[in-house]
Amino acid sequence: MYWLWKLGLTSLFCLIFVADGEYLIGLGSYDMTGPAADVNMMGYANMEQVTAGIHFRLRARAFIVAETQQGGARFAFVNLDAGMASQLVTIKLLQRLKLRYGDLYNEHNVAISGTHTHAGPGGYLQYVTYSVTSLGFVPQSFEALVTAVELSIAQAHDNLKPGSIFINTGDLENAGINRSPSAYLFNPPEERARYPRDVDTLMTLLKFVDKNSGNSVGAFTWFATHGTSMSRDNKLISGDNKGAAARFFEDWFGGSNINASTTINKRPNSLSKMLKKASKIKATGGQECPKNASQSSKVRNYDGSRFIGAFCQSNVGDVSPNVLGAFCLDSGKPCDFNHSSCHGNDQLCVGRGPGYPDEILSTKIIGERQFQKAVDLFTSAEEEITGKIDYRLVYLNFTNIEVILEGNQVVKTCPAALGPGFAAGTTDGPGVFGFQQGDTEINEFWKKVRDAIKEPSQYQVDCQKPKTVLLDTGEMFWPYAWAPAILPIQILRLGKLVILSVPGEFTTMAGRRLREAIKETLISNGNGEFGNDTHIVIAGLSNTYSQYIATFEEYKQQRYEAASTLYGPHTLSAYVQEFKKLAQAMARGNKTVGKGPSPPDLSSVQISFVLDPSGDSPPPGVKFGDVNQDVKSGSFKKGDRINVTFWSANPRYDLLAEGTFAVVEILRGGKWAPVYDDDDFCLYFMWNQKFDASGSYGFATIEWEVPEEASPGVYRFRHYGSFKKTRDSPIHYFTGASSGFTVS
Ligand SMILES: *[C@@H]1O[C@H](CO)[C@@H](O)[C@H](O)[C@H]1NC(C)=O
Ligand SMILES: *[C@@H]1O[C@H](CO)[C@@H](O)[C@H](O)[C@H]1NC(C)=O
Ligand SMILES: *[C@@H]1O[C@H](CO)[C@@H](O)[C@H](O)[C@H]1NC(C)=O
Ligand SMILES: *[C@@H]1O[C@H](CO)[C@@H](O)[C@H](O)[C@H]1NC(C)=O
Ligand SMILES: *[C@@H]1O[C@H](CO)[C@@H](O)[C@H](O)[C@H]1NC(C)=O
Ligand SMILES: *[C@@H]1O[C@H](CO)[C@@H](O)[C@H](O)[C@H]1NC(C)=O
Ligand SMILES: *[C@@H]1O[C@H](CO)[C@@H](O)[C@H](O)[C@H]1NC(C)=O
């Protein structure tokens, strides 16, 4: 057989070998919640939005697919409940994967994509623009992320076994609207006429089935809608609508937990009996506990056997989950169409989710819509994937790519820069500097401010037109680079599914142009291997982050997405041109694509102003884990909100990864069993600190909104935490439980 390989017929050989649609598949998942106090959230660039608790946990979810023959191709795809992927996370991850697996997983065949939640801890990106509001780099956020990606891949790797993969697609109509419809209208009418809507409604789903057991082990979906159901004022860590969809999907398949939904008592006790029992249960007081006690109280088991459901981001640039539209806070009328402002004020124009004004409800509804669609596609998926696994990656210096347009006109991309529309923010989160979307001029005052920071070169000013340069990030290098220059683009192929990993947020039309160009390139170069049934999916915010990519026409209006299109008017054309080269190489089986310039590792120059907590002590006579404000006694019903507050320490001493800060326990057969934890949508862990003359004290409030499926019974709250007395003293773990209460 050796001569066959030698003759370069490898690809033909692979095709025959895997023609029965069989792959090795492995899925994995790991907790990446990060610091639940004091850390600025990534997304809205709102300095006041710092973490103060957890709504539900963030996870990294990974799948690996491999051809079955010895040395067959494989790739790993990881979906993060994070604002975006980060170059530095990718670099560190690859170093760790190298230590574990040698060259098996590398920059070419690993893709990391962010869901774009705006409710996760920030400070994990390596360029200045993305760490201004987080007061620099936050090692704890970074470490939580890298570890979670690494361990999710390790779990997927350990899980690799023979399996089949199915693909299905369908439309989801009410989970996104275009938040810059006036910019979309700049696209040519004949192009717009080809599409029913100004957003993409297609969801693509992959279903993974274990060959031996016949059981489904997970599903990954791609659909474009922003992770901005939670607002810029929210302080609870949340996976936003995609994280919620994943939680619902996994619970739908795997059962959220057996203990919550089964009534072990055949004949439930009468209410008066339960009340009597509950009234005898007093708060335990704070107690020391083992390091991993909270992990043992976890309701869901993520040992690798659990079904994994992931909701990945796509060409999300101009797509908002706030589907009711944007309205003026003062008048209640729709905002100005071209500028998304209200009589000149951008801050008054805010988008409304379907649960308006309840952002948690909006998150739930948009999450549920994606989840329901995924269930439809999952249960009806019949089209099995067969054929080759393949991948290509190249790094490009986007500062000066020469782009050959139709008619052989040669243009160039520019060094990165942001326009005033960037500072205006969006209807999902308006900016605070008095700019409006669509602004192409800046006043003398802001010009002076800009020039004091960095006066753009004349080359840059001309290159970026019609954008006016507000922040010349591509020419700012103090104290280190403000924006990326080197970006990776990547193509992953799994049979008839082709995934395009893009390092940013393509607008709807930008994404369509890229997908169509690549499909056409693959078909015309692929020797029959690709056809009309090839599915092209854009994996947004992947591998590194470089903000937005609007079309050349949208760029003319300079709304937020265009003002944040870093490399000038021809940014999209450069992507299309370079992706086409990569697609051509893949379709023709050319393995010798040059890798391009490697991105820098800026870890050694990062600056960090967020301090670790420096030691916590409770006031005299109090122990951590003691109840501060006990739960109201009595009986509660479904829909009630019940809370308790404990004396507690900063949740950053130990992040309790794969554990929990908050538990609802039920009394069964004389024993307490955990039934809800801080990964449940109905349970809130809230952290705050109060200052008085004698010092500053931390409080953990746990609130439970009793869900429909809760069984009647006797319950209590439990809190887990950890502390150090001083920065350098050893860590202690504690727990405490509230008094009992009844749900009838
Ligand atoms: C907790 O730690 C103990 C002792 O190290 C170990 O036996 C147990 O399996 C651990 N439990 C969990 C849930 O990790
Ligand atoms: C928006 O701007 C376009 C041109 O840029 C103009 O034709 C249109 O009338 C404007 N619409 C409104 C409602 O102001
Ligand atoms: C990218 O290209 C520009 C222009 O040639 C060059 O000045 C810059 O050093 C390059 N950036 C990196 C990180 O290599
Ligand atoms: C693909 O679709 C196009 C447009 O619908 C059609 O013209 C073409 O014949 C199709 N090609 C194949 C191979 O089915
Ligand atoms: C493969 O790609 C390299 C680099 O882009 C190019 O020089 C070479 O001509 C290509 N080979 C084929 C057979 O297309
Ligand atoms: C806790 O519940 C009480 C009613 O028992 C309510 O007054 C209080 O506002 C709640 N606290 C929080 C933080 O929700
Ligand atoms: C259910 O509760 C029992 C204790 O009553 C515990 O042993 C078991 O692990 C729990 N199961 C789940 C899935 O949480």
- Give residue-wise pLDDT tens across range 95-133: 999 999 999 999 999 999 999 999 999 999 999 999 999
Q: Which of 213, 210, 298, 305 is nearest to 250 (CA)?
A: 305
Distance CA 706, CA 710 (A): 7
pLDDT at 593: 81
Task: Give the confidence band of 7 by pLDDT, cuts at 50, 70, 90.
Answer: very low
Cβ(563)–Cβ(468) under 8 Å? no
Alpha carbon of 394 to those of 503, 524, 543, 581: distances in Å? 12, 21, 12, 10
Residue 18 has pLDDT above 50, yes or no: no
The mean pLDDT value for 392-404 works out to: 98
Percent of the chain exceeding pLDDT 70 equals 95
Ligand 5 near 590 CB (within 6 A): yes
- Give residue-wise pLDDT tens across range 588-631: 999 878 899 999 999 999 999 999 999 999 999 999 999 999 99
C-alpha of residue 356 to centroid of ligand 2, in Å: 28
Q: Which residue is associated with the tokens 């109905």? A: 682
CA angle 480, 481, 486 (to 5 degrees): 140
- Give residue-wise pLDDT tens across range 428-484: 999 988 899 999 999 999 999 999 999 999 999 999 999 999 999 999 999 999 999
Look up residue 1 and give its amino acid: M
The mean pLDDT value for 531-539 works out to: 97
Task: Give the confidence band of 12 by pLDDT, cuts at 50, 70, 90.
Answer: very low
Distance CA 229, CA 239 (A): 10
Q: Which CATH class is domain 267-299+615-743?
A: mainly beta
Ligand 5 near 696 CB (within 6 A): no
Nearest CA to ligand 2 atom 8: 338
184 is in an annotated binding site: no
Distance CA 55, CA 698 (A): 18
3-state secondary structure of 154: helix
Residue 5 has pLDDT above 50, yes or no: no
Residue 259 has pLDDT above 80, yes or no: no
Pocket of ligand 3 (CB under 6 A): 397, 399-400, 485-486, 597, 600
Q: Looking at the chain, how many residues does it have?
A: 744
Residue 264 has pLDDT above 80, yes or no: no
C-alpha of residue 629 to centroid of ligand 6, in Å: 9
Q: Of 29, 141, 320, 648, which one is the catalytic site residue?
A: 320
**Most ligand 6 atoms within 8 A of CB, residue of 630, 633, 643, 683 to mutate:** 643
Cβ(167)–Cβ(535) under 8 Å? yes
Cβ(165)–Cβ(208) under 8 Å? yes
Task: Give the confidence band of 16 by pLDDT, cuts at 50, 70, 90.
Answer: very low
User: Of the ligands numbered here, which is closest to the C-alpha atom of 392?
Assistant: 5
- Name the percent of the chain in helix, strand, coil, to the closest 5: 25, 30, 45
Average pLDDT, the chain: 94
Residue 358 has pLDDT above 80, yes or no: yes
Task: Give the confidence band of 15 by pLDDT, cuts at 50, 70, 90.
Answer: very low
Look up residue 239 and give its amino acid: G
User: Of the ligands numbered here, which is closest to the C-alpha atom of 522?
Assistant: 4
Nearest CA to ligand 4 atom 2: 532
pLDDT at 267: 56
Known active-site residue 635: no
Residue 3 has pLDDT above 50, yes or no: no
Ligand 5 near 596 CB (within 6 A): no
Q: What is the DSSP string of 185-235?
A: TTS-HHHHTTSSSSS--EEEEEEEEETTT--EEEEEEE----B-SS-TT--
Please report the atom of ligand 4 found closest to the CA of residue 523. Answer: 13
- Give residue-wise pLDDT tens across range 565-590: 999 999 999 999 999 999 999 999 99
Contacts of 503 (CB under 8 A, 6+ apart): 85, 484, 487, 488, 489, 541, 542, 543, 544, 545, 546
Nearest CA to ligand 2 atom 3: 338
Nearest CA to ligand 6 atom 3: 643
302 is in an annotated binding site: no
Pocket of ligand 4 (CB under 6 A): 531-532
3-state secondary structure of 62: strand
User: Of the ligands numbered here, which is closest to the C-alpha atom of 459?
Assistant: 3
- Give residue-wise pLDDT tens across range 146-195: 999 999 999 999 999 999 999 999 999 999 999 999 999 999 999 999 99
Q: What are phi and psi of 240, to 5 degrees?
A: 55, -160
Alpha carbon of 153 to those of 104, 525, 544, 607: distances in Å? 12, 33, 18, 29
**Most ligand 3 atoms within 8 A of CB, residue of 91, 126, 397 to mutate:** 397
**Which residues in 230-239 are b (16+ Cβ under 10 Å) and which e?**
bbbebbbbbb
505 is in an annotated binding site: yes
Ligand 5 near 593 CB (within 6 A): yes
Q: Which residue has the higher pLDDT, 16 or 41?
A: 41
Residue 261 has pLDDT above 60, yes or no: no
CA angle 11, 576, 103 (to 5 degrees): 45
Nearest CA to ligand 6 atom 9: 643
C-alpha of residue 259 to centroid of ligand 7, in Å: 6
User: In the chain, what are the domain boundaries?
Assistant: 2-255+302-398+482-605, 267-299+615-743, 403-475
Q: Which residue has the higher pLDDT, 271 or 617?
A: 617
- Paired sense of beta strands 110-114 and 74-80, if any: parallel
pLDDT at 268: 60
Residue 1 has pLDDT above 80, yes or no: no
Ligand 2 near 688 CB (within 6 A): no
**Most ligand 4 atoms within 8 A of CB, residue of 519, 529, 532, 533 to mutate:** 532
Cβ(468)–Cβ(440) under 8 Å? yes
Distance CA 426, CA 505 (A): 14
User: Of the ligands numbered here, which is closest to the C-alpha atom of 397?
Assistant: 3
The β-bridge partners of 208 are 165, 218
The mean pLDDT value for 502-517 works out to: 98
